[in-house]
Structure 1
Amino acid sequence: MENIITPLMMSLRISIFATLLSFVIGIFLSWWFAFKKNKLTKFLSIIVTIPLVIPPTVLGYYLILLLGRNSFIGQWFEAMTRGPIIFTWKAAVIAAMIASLPLLISPIQAAFESINKDTVDAAELDGSSHFQLLVYIIIPLSYKGILAGLVLGFARAMGEFGATLMVAGNIPGKTQTLSIAIYDAVQANRMADAHLMVIILTSATIFFLYIIHRWFK
């Protein structure tokens, strides 16, 4: 049972941190993409979408180049913490965050764009700053889209496999998530463990989708 509980808890830990980071970044990018449309934001929106269309192993390879011990970020992180970032649970969080970010941004941006522009213009005329607009008007009016983005992002982070395996490895108790543990169980012919973990992961995904369906219904 420990072979299942440990990777499940690791998946939950990584997914929660990844979703929180995605939310902070996603809210800002969604606001920027929705209300500051120009060539730069269109280009960046394409860049953000790339993790949805490239193979996860390719995403993992790019992350190794970005976070590896020979990269600027990797060397800076190692100088600050005296340890590498790759092959740690922190690298798994980054991989899950980047993989889930497009799914989180899409419904939030759509919700932002559905807000009546006159409402935003009126608040700006009354002297509201961008931060006040976001916190007191845009977010409250877009809470359904934000909830959908959070649920989709969390579900995607829970199921992340390829990029996580590339950048964080498969270290039991340290970086092994539920998806990777399923792969391990099949490779070791532990089919009973694999069946149970697949049921847990599938049930969680169906539950998250059910929440979205019921909420919007």
Structure 2
Amino acid sequence: MMEFWWPVWLSIKVAFVSGVMVVLLGIITAKWMAHRRFKGKIVIETLLMLPLVLPPSVVGFFLIILFGKNGVIGKGIETLFHAPVMFTWYAAVIAAVVVSFPLMYQSAKAGLEAVDQTIEEAARIDGANEYQVFWHISIPLAKKALISGAILAFARSLGEFGATLMFAGNIPGKTQTMPTAIYVAIESGETNLAWAWVAITMLLSFFLLLCATTFKSH
């Protein structure tokens, strides 16, 4: 029984941790990019959105290059923590962050750009600093887009497969998430087991998409 629920628990844990990171990174990046005009902005935004359209194998390949034992970041992590990041659940979190970030960034940027700048300017005139304007004016007015983006990012992290399989592996009880567990179950001919994980994944995904759609429409 524990073997069945472990991939479910790990998938939710990875999606939650990566979701928190993506929300913070997405909002900070969107705040910096919204209403800003500079040379090369379109190139930067294209790079930020690239993981959304790249094949998962390509994303996984670049993660291995960067975070592997011979990668610049990977060597630094191994030196600092005396352990590699590859083939750990942290690798699954990193993969989930990379593939889900574009969804959060796009939603956050759209929400922040939709905020009436005259309201923000009025708050500044009344003596509010940039932090106060952002936290008390921009965030509340853009909350629908931010919450919707967070839910979509969580759902994307929950269903991440390709990059996770390449970068984190498929180690039962350690890095095996629901998508990779489904893959192994099908390969092993355990159709009923695969169906059970598929049902849980579909229910969670349906609920998350329903929540995202509800937030957008209200």
* Range class of TM-score, shorter chain: over 0.9
Distance in 1, Cα, partners of 2:122 & 2:42: 26
Secondary structure of 2:34's aligned partner: helix
Contact conserved, 1:86 with 1:167, CA < 8 A, in 2? yes
Distance in 1, Cα, partners of 2:86 & 2:53: 23
Residue range with higher mean Cα deviation, 39-48 or 109-118: 39-48
Instruction: Give 2:201's aligned amino acid.
Output: L
Distance in 2, Cα, partners of 1:212 & 1:55: 25
User: Corresponding residue for 1:78?
Assistant: 78
Cα displacement string for residues 52-71 of structure 1 (whole angstroms, at most 9, x for unaligned residues):
11100100000000101112
Which residues of 2 match residues 178-189 of structure 1 at below 5 A?
178-189=178-189
Closer/same/farther in 2, CA of residues 174 and 51 from structure 1, 3 Å limit: same
Contact conserved, 1:4 with 1:178, CA < 8 A, in 2? no
Distance in 2, Cα, partners of 1:39 & 1:205: 39
User: Corresponding residue for 1:165?
Assistant: 165
RMSD (Å), alpha carbons:
1.3
Contact conserved, 1:32 with 1:41, CA < 8 A, in 2? no
Distance in 2, Cα, partners of 1:47 & 1:210: 29
Query: How much has 1:127 moved relative to structure 2?
Result: 4.2
Query: How much has 1:41 moved relative to structure 2?
Result: 3.3
Which residues of 2 match residues 118-129 of structure 1 at below 5 A?
118-129=118-129
User: Corresponding residue for 1:103?
Assistant: 103
Contact conserved, 1:99 with 1:157, CA < 8 A, in 2? yes
Q: TM-score, normalised on structure 1?
A: 0.95
Which sections of structure 1, spanning at least 5 residues, go unmatched? Answer: none
Distance in 2, Cα, partners of 1:127 & 1:79: 47
Residue range with higher mean Cα deviation, 41-50 or 22-31: 41-50
Instruction: Give 2:190's aligned amino acid.
Output: R
Contact conserved, 2:148 with 2:213, CA < 8 A, in 1? no
Query: How much has 1:212 moved relative to structure 2?
Result: 1.9
Secondary structure of 1:42's aligned partner: helix
Contact conserved, 2:30 with 2:109, CA < 8 A, in 1? yes
User: Corresponding residue for 1:8?
Assistant: 8
Query: How much has 1:40 moved relative to structure 2?
Result: 3.9
User: Corresponding residue for 2:24?
Assistant: 24
Distance in 1, Cα, partners of 2:38 & 2:127: 24
Distance in 2, Cα, partners of 1:126 & 1:37: 26
Contact conserved, 1:186 with 1:194, CA < 8 A, in 2? yes
Distance in 2, Cα, partners of 1:135 & 1:63: 33
User: Corresponding residue for 2:54?
Assistant: 54
Contact conserved, 2:18 with 2:157, CA < 8 A, in 1? yes
Cα displacement string for residues 82-135 of structure 1 (whole angstroms, at most 9, x for unaligned residues):
100111111110100110001111121111111111112222334433322221
Instruction: Give 2:181's aligned amino acid.
Output: A
User: Corresponding residue for 1:150?
Assistant: 150
User: Corresponding residue for 1:192?
Assistant: 192
User: Corresponding residue for 1:213?
Assistant: 213
Which sections of structure 2, spanning at least 5 residues, go unmatched? Answer: none
Distance in 2, Cα, partners of 1:69 & 1:35: 40
Q: TM-score, normalised on structure 2?
A: 0.95
Distance in 1, Cα, partners of 2:172 & 2:95: 18
